[in-house]
Chain A
Amino acid sequence: DTGVSQNPRHKITKRGQNVTFRCDPISEHNRLYWYRQTLGQGPEFLTYFQNEAQLEKSRLLSDRFSAERPKGSFSTLEIQRTEQGDSAMYLCASSLAGGADYGYTFGSGTRLTVV
Chain B
Amino acid sequence: AQSVAQPEDQVNVAEGNPLTVKCTYSVSGNPYLFWYVQYPNRGLQFLLKYITGDNLVKGSYGFEAEFNKSQTSFHLKKPSALVSDSALYFCAVRELLGGFKTIFGAGTRLFVKA
Which residues of chain A have a CB within 8 Å of any CB of chain B?
A: 4, 31, 33, 35, 40-45, 48, 50, 55-56, 58, 91, 93, 100-101, 103-109
Contact = CB atoms under 8 A, between A and B. Distances in A.
Sorting the interface of chain B by its residue count into under 10, 10 to 19, 20 to 34 or 35 or more gives 20 to 34
A48 B51 contact: no
Interface of B: 4, 32, 34, 36, 42-46, 49, 51, 90, 92, 94, 99-107
A91 B100 contact: no
Given A40-B106, A42-B105, A56 B100 contact: yes
Contact of B44 (A40, A43, A55): A43
Contacts, number: 56
Contacts of B45: 106
A56 B43 contact: no
Given A91-B44, A101-B94, A105-B46, A45 B103 contact: yes
